C-alpha cells in the first residue's frame, strides 16, 4: 500500500460529501490509518455516510476493496490437492443453504473454505445455526482450516482475526450508523473477505425481495455485477445468481430448526426449494473449478454429501449423532380463512423469529438455538380455516405476543383462484 504522505481526513470527507473522487493513495492511507486507530470512528462514520449518499466510482470501489484486503493476511490454498471454491449469500430468511451445500460440493471433488458470519436483525447466521450442534466450534486457526480442507474437503468456520481487519472494524461501525445500505460498501465488504480467504472461485447468491437487504431487482443486479467485477479483477472466477426472497426459504426459520432441515436435505429429502437452490449453486461452484462432470444431485441422493457433513461436524468438535435442542414452548398460528395462500412475507417471518430469540439486535447479543418458526404451508397451497400455518418455538413464552405482532398482515389468503408459480432463480451474472 502507498504511504508516502499523511492526508487530512476532514478534506477527504468534504470531497466525498461534495461528490468528488478519492485517489488510490488517499484510499490506501485512509484504510490503513483507520485500522490503526489514527482515523476516529466518527470521522469514518461521516465518510461512510458521504459514500452512501454520493456513491463511488468503479476505480474507487476496486481500490477500497484492495486496501481492506491488504489490511491483513491473505490465505493461500493453492497447493491443496483439489480446487477451492466458495459461496456467499447476501442473507435471507430460512437461508440454510451453506449447511448442505459445502459438504455436497466437497463430495464432488472440490475444497470449500466457507468462512461464514453470524446473524444480525432478521437474517440468520450460519455460525449461529451450527453452534446449536453440541460441541461444534466456529473458531479455527489457519493451520486447522488447511488440515480440515485436506482431510474432509469442507470447512465452515469464522474468519481468522487477521483476515481483512479493516472490514471487520468498518462493518461494525456501519451497522450502528445507518450506513449499511450502500452498494459500494456492501460489495467491498463481501469481496475483501472472500478474496482474502484465498479461494480460486466464488459463487454469489444475491437475494432479492422483502426478506433480503436488496428489495429491488435492479439494485440486486447492480450489486451482483459490482462484486463479479471485483472478483474478476482480483483473479477470482466469480459468478452470481439472483434469487427470490419474498417468502422464507424452506420450512424452517431459526438455528436448530434450520440445521434439522439441512440434515433432511443431506439425507435425500427436504423442501423442494432448498434442494433446488442447493443443487443450482453446487453446479455453478463445480463448473467454476472445472468439475462440471460431477452431479451434486447424485451426491445428495447416494449419501456421499451426508458422509462429508458428518466428518465436517466431527472435525470441529461436534457430534453429528447428538439430538438437536428443542424449545420448551410452542404456539400454533392457524389459517384465518379458507382459500389459496398467496403471500407469506419473508421479512415479517424473519422479524418474528428474531423476536422469539433466534436473532440478535447487536453483535454481542446471545441467540437462542431453539427459537424459530416452522412453516406448514407455502404460497400456492390451499388451506382451510383453522389449519396450522406456522408454529412458533421459544423457551420464553412471554416472547409470543411480540412475535405475533410482527406477523400481523404478513399472511394473505385469497378465497379462490391460484398463485402463479414464482421462479426461485431470477438471473445469472458472470
Which neighbouring-strand residues pair with 242? 206, 427
* Separation between Cα atoms, residue 408 and residue 405, nearest integer Å: 5
Q: Which position among 70, 167, 205, 345 bears the catalytic label?
A: 167
Q: Which position among 174, 194, 310, 355 bears the catalytic label?
A: 174
Flag whether pLDDT at 3 surpasses 60: no
pLDDT tier, 244 (very low <50, low <70, confident <90, very high otherwise):
very high
* Separation between Cα atoms, residue 101 and residue 108, nearest integer Å: 11
Q: What is the pLDDT of residue 419?
A: 75
Whose grid coordinates read 449469500? Answer: 89
Q: Mean of the pLDDT values across residues 16-38?
A: 96
pLDDT tier, 311 (very low <50, low <70, confident <90, very high otherwise):
very high
Q: Mean of the pLDDT values across residues 25-41?
A: 96
CB 103 within 8 A of CB 203: no
Q: Is there a shared CATH topology between the 85-315 domain and the 329-414 domain? A: no
Q: What is the pLDDT of residue 417?
A: 76
- The string of pLDDT tens digits covering residues 157-179 is 998 889 999 998 998 888 788 88
Q: Mean of the pLDDT values across residues 68-82?
A: 93
pLDDT tier, 269 (very low <50, low <70, confident <90, very high otherwise):
very high
Q: Mean of the pLDDT values across residues 405-410?
A: 97
Pick the CATH number of 9-55 from 4.10.140.10, 2.60.40.10, 1.20.970.10, 3.20.20.100: 1.20.970.10
SS (H, E, C) the chain: CCCCCCCCHHHHHHHHHCCCCCCHHHHHHHHHHHHCCCCCHHHHHHHHHHHHHHCCCHHHHHHHHHHHHHCCECCCCCCCCCCEEEEEECCCCCCCHHHHHHHHHHHCCCEEEEECCCCECCECCHHHHHCCCCCCCCCCCHHHHHHHHHHCCEEEECCCCCECHHHHHHHHHHHCCCCCCCHHHHHHHHHHHHHHCCCCEEEEEEEECCCCCCCCHHHHHHHHHHHHHHHHHCCCEEEEEEEECCCCCCCEEEHHHHHHHHHHHHCCCCCHHHHHHHHHHHHHHHHHCCCCCCCHHHHHHCCHHHHHHHHHHHHCCCCCCCCCCCCCEEEEEECCCCEEEEEECHHHHHHHHHHHHHCCCCCCCCCCCCCEEEECCCCCCEECCCCEEEEEEECCHHHHHHHHHHCCCCEEEECCCCCCCCCCEEEEEC
How does strand 372-375 pair with strand 382-383? unpaired
Could you state, in order of their start, the residue ranges of all structural domains in the chain?
9-55, 85-315, 329-414
Q: Mean of the pLDDT values across residues 17-33?
A: 97
Q: How far is CA 10 from CA 14, 15, 52, 176, in A?
A: 6, 9, 17, 21
How does strand 201-208 pair with strand 237-244? parallel
What is the average pLDDT score of the chain?
94
- The string of pLDDT tens digits covering residues 333-370 is 999 999 999 999 999 999 999 999 998 877 677 899 99
pLDDT tier, 1 (very low <50, low <70, confident <90, very high otherwise):
very low
Q: Which position among 88, 122, 146, 260 bears the catalytic label?
A: 88
Q: Which position among 71, 189, 192, 210 bears the catalytic label?
A: 189
Tell me, yes or no, if 363 is annotated catalytic.
Answer: no
Q: What is the pLDDT of residue 138?
A: 96
**Residues whose CB is less than 8 angstroms from the CB of residue 311 and which lie 6 or more positions away in sequence, other chains included:** 151, 152
Q: Which superfamily does CATH assign the domain made up of 329-414 to?
A: Pyrimidine nucleoside phosphorylase-like, C-terminal domain (3.90.1170.30)
* Separation between Cα atoms, residue 395 and residue 386, nearest integer Å: 25
pTM: 0.94
CB 96 within 8 A of CB 261: yes
pLDDT tier, 2 (very low <50, low <70, confident <90, very high otherwise):
very low
Tell me, yes or no, if 88 is annotated catalytic.
Answer: yes
* Separation between Cα atoms, residue 50 and residue 102, nearest integer Å: 38
- Specify the CATH architecture of the domain 85-315: 3-Layer(aba) Sandwich (3.40)
Tell me, yes or no, if 167 is annotated catalytic.
Answer: yes
Percent of the chain having pLDDT more than 70? 98
Q: Mean of the pLDDT values across residues 109-117?
A: 93
Q: Which position among 193, 221, 310, 393 bears the catalytic label?
A: 193
Q: What is the pLDDT of residue 276?
A: 98
- The string of pLDDT tens digits covering residues 198-237 is 999 999 999 999 999 899 999 999 999 999 999 999 999 9
Flag whether pLDDT at 290 surpasses 70: yes
Q: How far is CA 28 from CA 4, 67, 278, 327, 363, in A?
A: 10, 6, 38, 49, 28
Q: What is the pLDDT of residue 118?
A: 81
- The string of pLDDT tens digits covering residues 360-387 is 877 677 899 999 999 999 999 999 999 9
- For 404-424, letters b (16+ CB in 10 Å) and e give bebbeebbebeeeeeeeeeeb
Flag whether pLDDT at 127 surpasses 50: yes
Amino acid at each position: 500500500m502507498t504511504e508516502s504522505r499523511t492526508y487530512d481526513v476532514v478534506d477527504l470527507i468534504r470531497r466525498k460529501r461534495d461528490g468528488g473522487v478519492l485517489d488510490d493513495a488517499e484510499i490506501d492511507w485512509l484504510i490503513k490509518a483507520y485500522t490503526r486507530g489514527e482515523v476516529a470512528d466518527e470521522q469514518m462514520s461521516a465518510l461512510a455516510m458521504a459514500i452512501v449518499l454520493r456513491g463511488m466510482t468503479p476505480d474507487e470501489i476496486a481500490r477500497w476493496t484492495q486496501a481492506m484486503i491488504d489490511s491483513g493476511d491473505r490465505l493461500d490454498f493453492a497447493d491443496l490437492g483439489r480446487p477451492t471454491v466458495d459461496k456467499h449469500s447476501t442473507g435471507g430468511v430460512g437461508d440454510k443453504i451453506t449447511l448442505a451445500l459445502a459438504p455436497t460440493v466437497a463430495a464432488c471433488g472440490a475444497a470449500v473454505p466457507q468462512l461464514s458470519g453470524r446473524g444480525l436483525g432478521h437474517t440468520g447466521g450460519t455460525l449461529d445455526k451450527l453452534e446449536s450442534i453440541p460441541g461444534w466450534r466456529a473458531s479455527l486457526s489457519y493451520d486447522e482450516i488447511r488440515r480440515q480442507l485436506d482431510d474432509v474437503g469442507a470447512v465452515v468456520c469464522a474468519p481468522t482475526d487477521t483476515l481483512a481487519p479493516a472490514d471487520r472494524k468498518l462493518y461494525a461501525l456501519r451497522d450502528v450508523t445507518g450506513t449499511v445500505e450502500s452498494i459500494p460498501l456492501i460489495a467491498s465488504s463481501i469481496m475483501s473477505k472472500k478474496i482474502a480467504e484465498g479461494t480460486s472461485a466464488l459463487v454469489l447468491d444475491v437475494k432479492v425481495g422483502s426478506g433480503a437487504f436488496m428489495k429491488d431487482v435492479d439494485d440486486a443486479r447492480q450489486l451482483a455485477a459490482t462484486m463479479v467485477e471485483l472478483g474478476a479483477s482480483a483473479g477470482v472466477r466469480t459468478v452470481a445468481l439472483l434469487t427470490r426472497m419474498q417468502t422464507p426459504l424452506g420450512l424452517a426459520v431459526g438455528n436448530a430448526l434450520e440445521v434439522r432441515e439441512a440434515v433432511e436435505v443431506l439425507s435425500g429429502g427436504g423442501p423442494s426449494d432448498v434442494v433446488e437452490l442447493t443443487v443450482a449453486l453446487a453446479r455453478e461452484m463445480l463448473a467454476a473449478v472445472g468439475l462440471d462432470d460431477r452431479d451434486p444431485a447424485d451426491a445428495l441422493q447416494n449419501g456421499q454429501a451426508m458422509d462429508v457433513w458428518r466428518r465436517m461436524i466431527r472435525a470441529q468438535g461436534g457430534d453429528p449423532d447428538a439430538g438437536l435442542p428443542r424449545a420448551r414452548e410452542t404456539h400454533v398460528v392457524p389459517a384465518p380463512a379458507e382459500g389459496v395462500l398467496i403471500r407469506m412475507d419473508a421479512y415479517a417471518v424473519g422479524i418474528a423469529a428474531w423476536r422469539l430469540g433466534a436473532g440478535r439486535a447487536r453483535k454481542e447479543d446471545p441467540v437462542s438455538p431453539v427459537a424459530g418458526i416452522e412453516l406448514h404451508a407455502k404460497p400456492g397451497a390451499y388451506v382451510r380455516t383453522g389449519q396450522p400455518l406456522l408454529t412458533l418455538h421459544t423457551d420464553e413464552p412471554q416472547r409470543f405476543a411480540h412475535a405475533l405482532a410482527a406477523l400481523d398482515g404478513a399472511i394473505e389468503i385469497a378465497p379462490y383462484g391460484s398463485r402463479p408459480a414464482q421462479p426461485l432463480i431470477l438471473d445469472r451474472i458472470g
